[in-house]
Structure 1
Amino acid sequence: MQDNGLVTLSQIIYDFCGLRFADRLPTLREKVSKRLTELGISHMEYCQYLKRSPREWDVLIELLTINETYFYREENQLNECCSYVLSLVKRKTRNRPIRIWSAACSSGEEPYTLAMLIQETGKFLPGSVEIVATDINKKVLRKAETGWYHHGSFAFRRTPENLLKKYFTDIDGGYQINASIRKMIKFQYLNLLEHDKVSQLAEVDIIFCRNVLIYFDQETTKRVIRSLHQNLAVGGYLFLGHAESITDMTLGFKKVDSDKTFYYRKESDRDETVQSISG
């Protein structure tokens, strides 16, 4: 017999953040079972609890989201951005800092890696590149802000030894990322489905939104991509995960292929554009 409370819970989760559990109800049940036992309530009662206590969403999001990440993940994209794309953007933004948005940044490895690679180029003065890093999970954001990672963390599985020594300090059983890197990044909470709050980020030149769309259905993906499109400067660049594609969507982006990776360039400032993405 179907649990109507679980079905209702899956729907309000979908409405809130786009995560789809309608066809994965056993997975959702497993993720929330311990919390419901702690509260002593049913799935349907939990739906009402979320309405009465909005802060419970923070707890629920921690249970639902996957925060598997590490430094230098999908390194070809990172190198393409920092060795080539940034130079293209720099020509257009001579009178202001370049702005990079790391969407769904998790515990901070992606934006910190970008900051380190930018410093490694030697082409950018302090303050000439700003990185805003956002996530819907407030717990991982707090971790990201500390810039401290345990010695045994999988976060370092791909980190070159020379950069580990150069940009981290060994302290308290872990590695603390240096202040020169931390000050390049501003971390903040953001739900990618809240269009009005996304638009408050203002215009950015490069967006990394990797390994996020794989958790969304097509309609939610379109909503998110439209928001990213709106915040991206004309001629700006969007990096998605290698397993993600917006090739068949007509959302104003053109696919760019390089030797080792691919990404997208914003071609229009109109959300209603009918230009299809090249495949």
Structure 2
Amino acid sequence: MSHQYRSGLTTVPELDDVQFGRWQNLLEERTGMCLPSQRRSFLQTSLGLRMQEVGCQSYQEYYDRVLNGPTGAIEWSTLVDRLTVQETRFFRDPDAYAFVDQYIQQKAAEMDADETLECWSVGCSSGEEAYSLSMVADRYLTPFNKRYAITGTDISTIVLRKARAGRYQPRALDWVPQEYLARSFKTSGINEIEISDHLRKRCCFSQVNILNLSACPLNSQHVIYCQNVLIYFRRWRRREILNVLAERLAPGGILVIGLGEMVDFQHPLLEPVRSSQVSAFVRKKTNPTGETTRR
């Protein structure tokens, strides 16, 4: 028997076990994300509402449409935007940003005049994480005419457009430490605030599928911030992702992940940070053979 449930003013077909498994597999195959059974209702709602928008009557019909040629690729991109957008905010993890703050402050004192501090926000969503990194870097580098560059990457084109615009609701400021407010934002319009121009110019945003990190051109990063990303992947894939990120760190650079996302990860290039508040690693300045690593 066919069942339906009502979501708001729309009626969405029930997603049975077979169809749920089929969409689970497709999402993991193409993005690496593992959607647990607890999120079936989320997937059902997202698929069902998109099906109504494009005029598909069943999950199978929509599945076939997504797999069908160039138009299917466009439709898949639209669907991924719906399925992968995650909640974020400025300075979401104060302990992690305190660790980054300490590192950048020390790095700023050591940097040569012609050196640029490079930071990478992996899974940057709508940009708050990347701009938080830029605020910290700006605080310690700009007064001494030293440079920094922030790169944010995400699979969703929708959130990347918002990140590039740098416009947010005023309530977003609730999470920003007081010392950053005056210099980091400006009023953009009615009920809207905007990232200051000098910060936005230091940030760039690019679409990257985390399954294709090995093809990403970023290297020699001083800070790689990858929080609340790994939890959506299987353990073996988390390890693969971290292995790639370890290779992209500059000697002495730091990799920050979420607490509990990968508690037993080890890599010959990395030294774990001993802390109960932060899950992070420092890239060794010598390689496993004892030779000094190039900058």
TM-score range, shorter chain: 0.7 to 0.9
Contact 1:5 1:47 in 2 (8 A): no
Contact 1:118 1:124 in 2 (8 A): no
- TM-score if structure 1 supplies the norm length? 0.84
1:12 maps onto 2:26 in alignment = yes
Q: Which range moves more in the overlay, 52-61 or 80-89?
A: 80-89
Paired residue for 2:58? 42
Query: Which residue identity is paired with 1:102?
Result: S
Q: Secondary structure at the match of 1:105?
A: coil
* Structure 2 residues without counterparts, runs of 5 or longer: 2-15, 290-295
Q: Distance in 1 between matches of 2:125 and 2:267?
A: 29
Distance change (3 Å), C-alpha of 1:47 and 1:222 = farther
Q: Distance in 2 between matches of 1:33 and 1:76?
A: 39
Paired residue for 2:73? 54
Map of 1:205-220 to 2, 5 A cutoff?
A: 205-220=222-237
Larger Rg: 2
Deviation at 1:150, TM superposition (A): 1.9
Distance change (3 Å), C-alpha of 1:90 and 1:194 = farther
Paired residue for 1:143? 162
Identity %: 26
Q: State the Cα deviation string for residues 175-224 of structure 1 (Å, max 9, x = none).
A: 111101101111111111113432x2233221000011111110221221
Map of 1:136-175 to 2, 5 A cutoff?
A: 136-151=155-170, 153=171, 155-173=172-190, 174-175=192-193
Q: State the Cα deviation string for residues 32-67 of structure 1 (Å, max 9, x = none).
A: 111123331432333332232212222112221242
Q: Which range moves more in the overlay, 237-246 or 261-270?
A: 261-270
Query: How many residues are treated as equivalent by the alignment?
Result: 269
Q: Secondary structure at the match of 1:233?
A: strand
Distance change (3 Å), C-alpha of 1:162 and 1:237 = closer
Q: Distance in 1 between matches of 2:130 and 2:179?
A: 19
Contact 2:31 2:209 in 1 (8 A): yes
1:181 maps onto 2:199 in alignment = yes
Paired residue for 1:63? 82
Query: Which residue identity is paired with 1:247?
Result: D
Q: Distance in 1 between matches of 2:276 and 2:41?
A: 42
Paired residue for 2:245? 228
Q: Secondary structure at the match of 1:157?
A: helix
Q: Distance in 2 between matches of 1:259 and 1:27?
A: 33
Q: 2:123 aligns with which of 104, 110, 114?
A: 104
Paired residue for 2:7? none
Distance change (3 Å), C-alpha of 1:249 and 1:258 = closer
Q: Which range moves more in the overlay, 158-167 or 133-142?
A: 158-167
Deviation at 1:92, TM superposition (A): 6.7
Q: Distance in 2 between matches of 1:115 and 1:250?
A: 28
Contact 1:213 1:221 in 2 (8 A): yes
User: RMSD between aligned alpha carbons?
Assistant: 2.8
Contact 2:224 2:254 in 1 (8 A): yes
Q: Secondary structure at the match of 1:119?
A: helix
1:116 maps onto 2:140 in alignment = no
Q: Which range moves more in the overlay, 5-14 or 76-85?
A: 76-85
Paired residue for 1:204? 221
Paired residue for 2:96? 77
Deviation at 1:114, TM superposition (A): 1.4
1:193 maps onto 2:207 in alignment = no
* Structure 1 residues without counterparts, runs of 5 or longer: 274-279
Deviation at 1:95, TM superposition (A): 4.2
